[in-house]
Amino acid sequence: MHIDIITCLPKLLESPFADSILKRAIDKGIVELTVHDLRPFSTNKHHATDDYAFGGGAGMVMMIEPIDRCISSLKEHRQYDEIIYMSPDGELFTQSLANQLSLKKNLILLCGHYKGVDERVREHLVTREISIGDYVLSGGELAAAVLCDSIIRLIPGVLSDETSALTDSFQDGLVAPPVYTRPADYKGWKIPEVLLSGHGAKIEEWRHDMALERTKQRRPGLTP
Ligand code: SAH
């Protein structure tokens, strides 16, 4: 998979990909991820990427020209499955959308900042808009990092145990059962006996029952 992220603040995207699972996916060559700074695409003499809003009001707006030039230059090298604008009023990001996107080959993620991007970017340049939740962030960078994290870990070969992603919450319409590790008794707080039984089928049954119970309690709207 190839992901190009477009931002006016590339530094914000340095650390999420510099460690752990995402770094390994990149090092193994399973994912190619490039962060593109918008500033060099500005024809403005100060390399500005934003300007005042027409009609007045507080907050700057990201200009269409640098974004258009950046997207056009990327399109010269590859065909994109989706050009996604991270936006608080976009389609809500879910595990099912993460599954769909993890099957794509080439993605562009466009991060807004300030008041957002000139509306004409949304009308003419992007193919999809995604929100990571009903709250407003200062910029799309953290949202893009969230999206990348959740889709990259689903690509075969990224997690050391591939079945791990399948037993995570939401994959089967259920939240995950509780997990425990050593010690089995900590300050008298004991783990469920069944986990020490060595009886694989019983353990699976217990996990499934716990997942059902938790889903009923915490996410009654989910359907297995
Ligand atoms: N004025 C806009 C908010 C702009 S926030 C509004 O009221 O809708 C600045 C940028 O942060 C946005 O352009 C978007 O790229 C990003 N952003 C903010 N909240 C987000 C969210 N919940 N999901 C995805 N991106 C978000």
Mutate to test the pocket of ligand 1, among 64, 83, 136, 147 (most ligand atoms within 8 A of CB): 136
Query: What is the fold of 2-152?
Result: Alpha/beta knot (3.40.1280)
pLDDT band at 109 (very low <50, low <70, confident <90, very high): very high
Protein residue with its CA nearest to atom 8 in ligand 1: 88
Pocket-forming residues, ligand 1, beta carbon under 6 Å? 86-89, 111-113, 115-117, 131-133, 135-137, 139-140, 143
pLDDT in tens, 125-144: 999 999 999 999 999 999 99
Identify the residue with better confidence: 103 or 170: 103
Which atom of ligand 1 approaches the CA of 85 most closely?
15
b/e 175-198 (16+ beta carbons within 10 angstroms → b): bbbeeeeeeeeeeeeebeeebeee
Judged against a pLDDT cut of 70, whether residue 66 lies above it is answered with yes
Chain centroid offset of residue 197 CA:
38
- What CATH number is given for 169-222 in this structure? 1.10.1270.20
State if pTM tops 0.85.
yes
Q: What is the pLDDT of residue 177?
A: 96
Q: What is the pLDDT of residue 224?
A: 67
Distance of alpha carbon 156 from alpha carbon 177, whole angstroms? 23
Q: Is the dihedral of CA 181, 182, 187, 191 positive or negative?
A: positive
Give the residue carrying structure tokens 């990348």.
148
Q: Could you tell me the residue ranges of all domains in the chain? A: 2-152, 169-222
- Identify the H or E element spanning 177: none
Query: Closest Cα partner for 109 from 93, 95, 96, 169?
Result: 93
Protein residue with its CA nearest to atom 17 in ligand 1: 140
Distance of alpha carbon 223 from alpha carbon 82, whole angstroms? 28
